[in-house]
Structure 1
Amino acid sequence: MQIAKVRGTVVSTQKEPSLRGVKFLLVEFLDEEGQPLSVYEVAADNVGAGVDEWVLVSRGSAARQVPGSENRPVDAAVIAIIDTVSVDNRPLYNKGTQY
């Protein structure tokens, strides 16, 4: 899993039938200091995340382990919305104070 920040949404009206009803997010991966890596990916949203939230992203075959996703052509999935992150006993991110 990797930590990422939701930067936007991706809308597609025509898609593979198994992806109907799936929301897509544009996520930017973050380093251990919470700084953007300028590495982006489109991820299927399984948890209802929104723009600017920090999330956990599962990639590769693990992204298809989410129930109901086994037969979907998905390489990345948002599997959690992060509440807090701390590194070396210091707070790095707190969802309640980020906005």
Structure 2
Amino acid sequence: MLLGRVVGVVVPCVVYEGLKGTPMLCLQPLDKAGKPKGRTIVAADATRMAGPGELVYYEGGREAALALDPWFVPVDHAIVGIVDDLHIPERGAEA
């Protein structure tokens, strides 16, 4: 699973039948330190509860298609959870 921050909302004008009612959000992928990494991506929100500014975890590829109901809808990324708290210990520190 990967970390990202919701930075926007996508409003599609035409939607694949299996994705109707599923929010589409823009995510900024984050590295292990929580800093922006790469370009923004569009992800289907399997939780249907994430919003702008929230820290989320997401999947890509085949796993993303499995996270949604119905399975195997055409998506590259899917939000699978919302992060309440994140603690990343410094290198060399005990957890």
Distance (whole Å) between structure 2 residues aligned to residue 25 and residue 67 of structure 1: 14
Per-residue deviation, residues 35-68 of structure 1 (Å, max 9, x unmatched): 1114211000111101000000111000122251
Cα RMSD between the aligned structures? 1.7
Structure 1 match to 2:16: 16
Structure 2 residue ranges without an equivalent (≥5): 91-95
> Which residue number corresponds to residue 84 of structure 1?
85
Return the alpha-carbon distance in structure 2 between the equivalents of residues 30 and 71 of structure 1.
Answer: 26
Pair 67,24 (structure 1): closer, same or farther in 2 beyond 3 Å: closer
Percent of aligned pairs sharing the same letter: 31
Number of equivalenced pairs: 90
TM-score relative to the length of structure 2: 0.85
Higher strand share: 1
Moved >3 Å (runs of 4+): none
